[in-house]
Amino acid sequence: MNEKQMVGEKAVEYIKDGMVVGLGTGSTAYYTITKLGELVRNGFNIKGIPTSEQTAALAVEQGITLVDFKDVNQIDVAIDGADEFDADLNLIKGGGGALLREKIIANAASIFIVIADSSKGAKKLGAFPLPVEIVTFGADMTTKKIAELGCEPKLRLTGNQPFITDNGNYILDCDFKHIESPKEMELQLNKIPGVVENGLFVNMADRLITIENGELVEKTK
């Protein structure tokens, strides 16, 4: 069993029968969703709210019932991966292109559990280029304004064409090298007109499940 599978399946222990669950996007969340599908096929009853169209398709394939925000009062638990985390459980997310929906769902959840393999830990965030979702209108100007914060933004591509999010926007992958104050950077980015959301998840994770020295470990704020 690889590290992603270890942490992804461990998180399922926090899901109880009857819960509404935020379903993350990416290669680690894949193992959470497939494990949940196994439980559902054995009689487990949950409802899922997916963070992406990709996740929605996987959940349906696994037999998990999906619901919309309008159909529920709360999300009990959200489980999602991270591209980078620091000792304070601040995160960079968005490598899979779903950061906006991921942040909405994480913010709405009573408990937000992050699953990440040992390679994702960092003393300071920023080695992983920070994804920033921007509207297509005025994208060049928005990119210039973001660059003024001290990074090199690159438009994410699929082949030769811009990558388009599930929300119809672009993503800029912004190389900051390291981010001294994630909270301040989050606020500065979101003040720029044209920025929809950024991949800094500050003070949002309630629990981190990761691997240290080959063993599962859990960390809380």
- Over residues 165-198, the pLDDT tens digits come to 999 999 999 999 999 999 999 999 999 999 999 9
Q: Residues 55-78: pLDDT tens digits? A: 999 999 999 999 999 999 899 999
CA separation for the pair 61, 38 (Å, rounded):
11
Residues 148 and 180 in one domain: yes
Q: Which residues are annotated as a binding site for substrate?
A: 25-28, 80-83, 93-96, 120
| Cβ partners under 8 Å of residue 90, min gap 6 | 125, 182, 200, 201, 202, 203, 205
Residues 35 and 52 in one domain: yes
CA separation for the pair 120, 205 (Å, rounded):
15
pLDDT of residue 6: 97
pLDDT of residue 1: 82
Residues 111 and 169 in one domain: no
pLDDT of residue 200: 98
The C-alpha R_g of the chain, in whole angstroms, comes to: 17
**Which residues are identified as catalytic?**
102
The answer to the question of residue 218 being in a domain is no
Q: What residue numbers bound the domain in which 161 lies?
A: 130-198
Listed as ranges, residues in the chain with pLDDT below 50 are: none
Residues 77 and 185 in one domain: no
pTM of the entire structure? 0.95
